[in-house]
A and B are shown apart, each in its own frame.
Chain A
């Protein structure tokens, strides 16, 4: 206990210097813990959102589906579509429980700074998205439109209202409004498949077929069977998740590199603080050695100071991260591509332990040299030092 007190006194002999070192350590650990928690939370939230969609795979036209999505958002035409016959081929596969065809296209509304996304669907989508709660009813006529809750809010629409699409000179009847789903569905205009194909002059063509399997374990078998459909490719939800995580990977690597640099700088700060403390206490260490303290005691004392400094900084960083992570999450989600709904920060004990172990590992390394230097001091020379 007295050993701890001794270390504590030595550490806080120069309070300002120690507090500044602690602050830098706190910031570094807070950023690292938040980043680790964000990484885990993002992957989990994305996986959960993809699973909650109830879709196991998508059949899309050959080409980059992300480029197609980007083109649709900009109101552009995608280079290729699926023929209606692709749906017949899909339905021949017995392992498939539901196959929902869709046609998606966008109309840019520069005045409003957004794109209206129209999705042509049929009743199979209702079976696929069985979590949908609709105020009103589902689509039954060629001019029916089912709108997401965000659209209803933007257009101040209620069931029974009409929405005019000036670009197509078409009037749609709002027959239903989706209760908020927390997904991109909230911002869509759903119309009948044939209506969408007609509105965008693509009769008989599809942009995707969403598939739910009877048994999700059959995904590899079904993927290989669907591989024969001409002009189509199959994307499983696992692949989609992998691609999204890869897209995030570059940004994550950059952030992690920055955090590691911050931690190295903090570790150098710790090393500097403890080393300065050793230099300033050379005479004191000499007295300790002269009165019977061994090299191991001195080494242990200095090392303990480093560990304490890092532990306090680490603990402070974790507390800051616990309180600050939610605030940060709100900011980050605004700029994050492909951000899933819900929390993307998972503050877990596992991450907590991982970060603490990492910090203590850094402390052990940073404290080694000052501790060794202190232990090697010869008592006679140390006592002579002014």
Chain B
């Protein structure tokens, strides 16, 4: 029974379903490899403190997909499954680095059951995340003055996407970004 409760509604990890198509769309071309990073207690505590929420029970390891062009790393892809209004939403986030650290290059939704599927997957909505960094404001709303607009008809799903992007940026920052130097050794890029 306990196992049942833990399993239900708590699966943040997901596969990367269309790596070739995503790489072509986001980076033009490239190859990728898969890197697993374990989550130790210190890192978990730091990530949870920054997110203001606990990691999901299955997040004991994170998966990163560094993308290469001519053996040069051009970015990193990460995936996340979150809860939308009508089922799970799987988000693919591609990050690149500049002098200020990691920022979003592109966000894609690889699986969802939302009624407003088109709006949720539209460039108008997902494009808002481009250039965002881990410490930016990720509040999603249609209220006047809010920073990001929700996809019309998929407000809860929009927030799920925003939360996923923020979480993945924070996780990336803790392993490879500016925050990785503090506390423990930075993960090898």
Residues of A within 8 A of B (CB): 111-113, 135, 149, 152-158, 161-166, 171, 177, 179-180
B96 within 8 A of A: no
Contact B86 A153 (CB under 8 A): no
Task: Enumerate chain A residues within 8 angstroms of B113, measured Cβ to Cβ.
Answer: 155, 163-166
State whether the Cβ of B185 lies closer than 8 Å to any Cβ in chain A. Answer: no
| Candidates A158, A164, A165, A166; contact of B8 at CB < 8 Å | A158
Contact present for A149 and B7 (CB under 8 Å):
yes
What are the nearest 6 A-B pairs in CB distance? A164-B86, A155-B87, A156-B83, A156-B88, A156-B9, A164-B113
Minimum CB–CB distance from B79 to chain A (whole Å) comes to 13
Q: Is there an interface contact between B86 and A163, defined as CB atoms closer than 8 Å?
A: yes
Q: How many A-B residue pairs have CB under 8 A?
A: 59
- Measured CA separation A166–B111 after assembly (Å): 12
In the complex, what's the smallest C-beta–C-beta distance from A219 to chain B, in angstroms?
Answer: 35
Complex: chain A residue closest to B84, CB-CB: A156
Taking CB atoms, residues of chain A closer than 8 Å to B97 are: none
Set of chain B residues within 8 Å of A155, measured between Cβ atoms: 87-88, 113
| Shortest Cβ distance from B18 into A: residue | A111
Q: A155-B87, A161-B86 are in contact. List 9 more A-B contacts (CB 8 A).
A: A149-B4, A153-B8, A155-B88, A156-B8, A156-B82, A156-B83, A158-B9, A164-B87, A179-B4
Does A153 lie within 8 Å of B87, measured CB to CB?
A: no
Of all chain A residues, the one with the shortest Cβ separation from B15 is A113
Are A166 and B117 in contact, with the CB atoms below 8 A? yes
A154 contacts B88, CB within 8 Å?
Answer: yes
Nearest CB in chain B to that of A116: its residue: B113
Q: Are B111 and A111 in contact (CB under 8 A)?
A: yes
- B110: A residues at CB distance < 8 A: 111
B17 near A157 with CB under 8 A, answer no
13 inter-chain pairs at a CB distance below 8 angstroms, sorted by A residue, are A111-B111, A149-B4, A153-B8, A156-B11, A158-B9, A163-B87, A163-B113, A164-B86, A164-B115, A171-B86, A177-B8, A180-B3, A180-B4
